[in-house]
Amino acid sequence: MKQAKLSIINTFDQKVSLEIYSETKEPQNLWKLNEAEAEEFGEAQVQIQEGFSYEYELTDGFTFLDQGVIFPSNIKGSVGRIKPGIFVGTLKFYIQDEENNECGFFELEVRSSKTSYRNDYRFMLESIADRSTDLILRSTSPVFQRLTYDYDADPETDYQRFAFVQSMLSSDEFVQAVNRILTYPVSNWSEIRREKDIRRLRGFSSSDLKQITSDPNRYPVPGEHPIHKIISSLPRRITTSGKERTLDTPENRFVKHALSEFRDFCSSIRVRLNKANSRSSRAYKEAVNLEEQLTGILNRDFFRGLSPPETLPLNSPVLQRKEGYRDVLRIWLLFDLAARLVWKGGEDVYHAGKRDVALLYEYWLFFVLTDLIGDVFSLKPDIDGLFEETSNGLGIKLKSGKQTIISGKYVNPIRDLAVEFSYNKTFSGNSDYPDGGSWTKSMRPDYSLSFWPSDIDRRTAEHQELIVHIHFDAKYRVKDISEILGDEDMDIDQEKDEERRGTYKRADLLKMHAYKDAIRRTAGAYVLYPGKGKEELLRGFHEIIPGLGAFTIRPSREDNGSKGLIEFLERVRSHFLNRASQRDRLSYETFDIFKERDDREIKEPLPEFIDGRRIKPPSETFVLVGFCKNDEHYKWIKENNLYNFRLTGRGAISDHVDPEMLLADYILLHWEGHVVTGDIYRTIHGSGLGPKIMTSISLEDYGYPDPRHDEYLVYRIESEIEKEFAGARWDLRKLDRYVTGRGSGLPFAVALVDLMEGKVVD
C-alpha cells in the first residue's frame, strides 16, 4: 500500500506525525511533490486525487477538526478516512490536542482526475479574463482610459483580481512574448562622442582637423617624420563622433514599464494578503511566486540598461505589429481592467483554496458557446448586461445558479428566428399546459438554446408549440464517450452493480433524457466534455432533432474540438429553415390536439389496424352519415359496394360539402323514418379507389335504378361490417349535426368519437 508521511510542528513545538494511505489496491493517486515543484504551482506537497478515499493516522492524542471531508473513527479519534469527493484544490486540516486546543494545521492538495487540469485551469481563467476585458473595452468608450486599482478592496476580491491577472501573466503567450523580445529586441543607431588616441584614427572629419590644430594637450612630432614640415606637434587624444547600436528605445522602455507595473501589482497583493494574515494561503504563495518571476525578468541585463520611459509610444508600429511587443502591449491594455474585474462566480471556483476546474469549465464554455452561436446564426449578441460598475470594480454577473440570458435575431429570407442563449435558466416545475417550463420538478440545464419565429412574442410561441429548446450540460470530468453512453455490452446485473456503487456510467445520459422529456418543447439535450472522442448523435426519429448526444469541447488554444458542435448547430439552423420538416408537423399536431381540453371518453371496441397498418384515432376518423332513399337503393349499394350522393339538384352534396365528408373513413346508412341504424361500412381509399364523380350514364352501367340527376359523387365501400362494429347501433338524434324533418336526408360528416356518444346501449 502506497503511503505519504509528513511531520508538522504545532504552536507548542510538539511534533505531530500524519500518515496517509490509499485504499486502492494499485494506487496511482497519492503523490508527494518536491518543494520547488509545489512552490511553482502554489500547491501543497502531499497530494491526493478527487473521487478516491484515503485512510489517515495522526499521532496519538491529536485529532482533526471537522472539515467536511474528514471522517474519524468512532473507536480511535486519531485515525479515520479522508473523502474529498469532487473537491479540487488545497484543503487545510486543523489539528487539536486532547484539551481541544487548536495547535496546528496540515495542507493537502486534491488533484483533479484530469491530468491536464493545471493547464486547463490557467488557460480557461486566462480566456475568461481575456474575453471579459475585451468585451468591457468593446462595450464602453473606444478611447482607452487608465483605471485605478482600489487598494482598499477586501482580500477575497483581491485574489479574484489577482487570479485574472495571473492567468494572463502565466500564459504561454506572455512567456513567449517576453522571450521573443529578449531574443530579437528592437534597437536603434545613436550618435556617440568619445576620446580616442590620435594614433588610432583612420580618418579625419573637419571637427577632427580643428582639434589637431587647436587642442592644448600635445606632444612634438619628431623632425625626421614626414609631417613635421606641415605641423610640429599633435594632440595626444581627440574627441571623435560615431554611431552605435543601442537597446534603449522607447519600445523597450515601455516593455520595462509594463513589467514593472505587473510586478508592483503582485507586490501590492502580497502586502495586502500579508496584512490579512494569509501568508499560508494559496493566494499569497502565488503572488510571491509571480512577483519573483517578474523581478527575475526585470533583473536581466537587457532591462538594467534601459532608461525610464518619457512617453508611452502606444501608436508605435513596433508595439502594434512586431511579435512579442504587440503581445505585451495587448496584455498591458487589458491589465488594468483585469485588475479591477470582480467576478461573483469566482467565489465558487477558487474560494478558500478551492480550484474547482469543473465549474470553471462551465463558465469558460459559456463564452465559447456565445461565440459559436453568434457565428452560426450571424448574431451580435447584446452582452453589455453581463457587466456592471460596482463599488469595488467592474463586475461580471456570470455565476452558477444565476440565470444569464443573451438574445438576438437570426435574419434569413426564408424565416427570421428569435434566438436566446441562457446560462443556468430555471424551467419551473409543475407548470400547467400550455405554459413553458417542466411538467414535473424544476430543471436547470447548464445552457439552453431557444428558437421561435421572431414576429411573435415568446409566450405566444410557447402556447402554440412554436418554440424549440436545445439544452447542453458541461461535464469536465468525462474522459470518454462511453462514460456518458455506457457500454452496449453491459448486462443488467453489471448496471445494477454500478448503480449501487455510485459509478453508473449512463447517469449523464439519463439526465439528458430528463431534460428532454420533462421540459416542454425540448428537441434535444447534449453533453459537452473535454475529451478527444468523436461526437455522438442519437436521433429520436429521422431528422437532426429531436435527439440526444455528446460533443467534445477542449480548453485549447490550437484546436478546441468544436468542429462537431459547429456542424451540428449549422444543421439545426438548416432544419429550422425547412418548412416541411417532420418535427414542425409534429409540433403543429401537438398544438392542435392539446389547445383545448377534451374530456370525451370511448370505452368501446374500435378497429385499430387495416392491412397491418395502424388507423387514425377516433377524433380524426370521420363517418359520413348517408341516406338510402328506398330498399332498391340499399340493395344496389350492397351488391356493388358503392354509395352515391347527387351533385346537382335539391339536397345535392355540392351545396354543403366539407373536407370531412370527402375524407370520410366510414359511411353510416339510414332510411326515412329509421333514426337508429347499425349499417356502417369502411370506405376504400387509395390507388384511385376514393370517391369519384360519375355521370348518370356511368351509374346505369352499374345497374343503378332510375338515375334522375346528371352527376353523382360515388364512394367505394367494403362489403362487410367490421367485427368491432358488429351488432352496434347508433341513434342519429343524439348527434349535433343531425337535422330533423325535410333535411333529415342531407348527408353530413361526424367524427367517430362523437358518433360513439350516440351509440345505443342495450
Residues 359, 410 share a domain: no
Select, from the ranges 59-68, 351-360, 606-615, the one with the highest average predicted confidence (pLDDT).
606-615
Distance CA 604, CA 587 (A): 29
Residues 472, 405 share a domain: yes
Distance CA 110, CA 286 (A): 17
**Does the residue 394 lie in any domain?**
no
Distance CA 311, CA 250 (A): 8
The boundaries of the domain holding residue 621 are: 609-758
468: Cβ contacts below 8 Å, ≥ 6 apart? 450, 451, 452, 521, 522, 523, 545, 576, 583, 587
- Which pLDDT score, from 0 to 100, does residue 242 have? 61
Give the confidence band of 148 by pLDDT, cuts at 50, 70, 90.
very low
Residues 319, 238 share a domain: no
146: Cβ contacts below 8 Å, ≥ 6 apart? 336
Give the confidence band of 192 by pLDDT, cuts at 50, 70, 90.
low
From the number of C-beta atoms within 10 Å of its C-beta (0-12, 13-18, 19+), residue 749 rates as buried
**Does the residue 681 lie in any domain?**
yes
- Residue 532, pLDDT above cutoff 60: yes
**Does the residue 379 lie in any domain?**
no
Residues 214, 173 share a domain: no
Q: Are 517 and 464 in contact, with CB atoms under 8 Å apart?
A: no
| Mean pLDDT rounded to a whole number for the chain | 81
Angle at 457 between CA 455 and CA 460, to 5 degrees: 110
**Does the residue 636 lie in any domain?**
yes
Residues 479, 414 share a domain: yes
Residues 193, 61 share a domain: no
Of 447-451, 497-501, 592-596, least confident by mean pLDDT is: 497-501
Residue 85, domain CATH: 2.60.40
- Which pLDDT score, from 0 to 100, does residue 74 have? 87
**Does the residue 392 lie in any domain?**
no
Could you give the strand order of the β-sheet that contains 711-716, starting from the edge strand earlier in sequence?
642-646, 711-716, 692-695
The mean per-residue pLDDT over the stretch 52-79 comes to 86
The mean per-residue pLDDT over the stretch 507-529 comes to 91
Distance CA 697, CA 211 (A): 137
Q: DSSP class of residue 34?
A: -
Give the confidence band of 235 by pLDDT, cuts at 50, 70, 90.
confident
Distance CA 732, CA 618 (A): 18
- For residue 95, which of 77, 109, 73 has the smallest C-alpha distance? 77
- Which pLDDT score, from 0 to 100, does residue 141 have? 33
Q: Domain end: 309, 335, 363, which one?
A: 363
Grid cell for residue 609: 389496424
State how many domains the chain has. 5
- For residue 404, which of 7, 198, 753, 132 has the smallest C-alpha distance? 132
Residues 555, 408 share a domain: yes
Residues 137, 68 share a domain: no
- What string of DSSP letters covers 195-244? EEEGGG-----HHHHHHHHH-SSEEEPPTTSGGGGT-SEEESEEEEEEEE
The mean per-residue pLDDT over the stretch 370-389 comes to 78
- For residue 592, which of 622, 620, 621, 623 has the smallest C-alpha distance? 620
- Which pLDDT score, from 0 to 100, does residue 339 have? 61
Which is more confident, 456 or 658? 456
The mean per-residue pLDDT over the stretch 484-495 comes to 63
- Residue 150, pLDDT above cutoff 60: no
Distance CA 32, CA 216 (A): 75
- Residue 388, pLDDT above cutoff 80: no
Tell me the residue type at 640.
N
In SS3 terms, 293-314 reads as HHHHHHCCHHHHCCCCCCCCCC
Give the confidence band of 241 by pLDDT, cuts at 50, 70, 90.
low
**Does the residue 314 lie in any domain?**
yes
Tell me which residue has cell 623632425.
Answer: 223
- What string of DSSP letters covers 451-472? EEETTS-HHHHHHTT--EEEEE
**Does the residue 535 lie in any domain?**
yes
> pLDDT by residue (tens digit) across 647-689?
876 656 656 678 888 889 999 999 888 899 999 999 987 555 6
Residues 422, 299 share a domain: no
Residues 423, 359 share a domain: no
The secondary element (H helix, E strand) that includes residue 429 is: none
> pLDDT by residue (tens digit) across 609-638?
888 888 889 999 999 999 998 889 999 999
Residues 154, 268 share a domain: yes
Give the confidence band of 17 by pLDDT, cuts at 50, 70, 90.
confident
- Residue 146, pLDDT above cutoff 50: no
DSSP H helices in 60-115: none
Residues 104, 22 share a domain: yes
Q: Express the helix, strand and coil content of the chain in percent, nearest 5 each.
A: 35, 25, 40
Parallel, antiparallel, or unpaired: how do β-strands 393-396 and 341-343 relate?
parallel
Parallel, antiparallel, or unpaired: how do β-strands 46-49 and 102-111 relate?
parallel
**Does the residue 8 lie in any domain?**
yes
- For residue 474, which of 421, 424, 533, 402 has the smallest C-alpha distance? 424
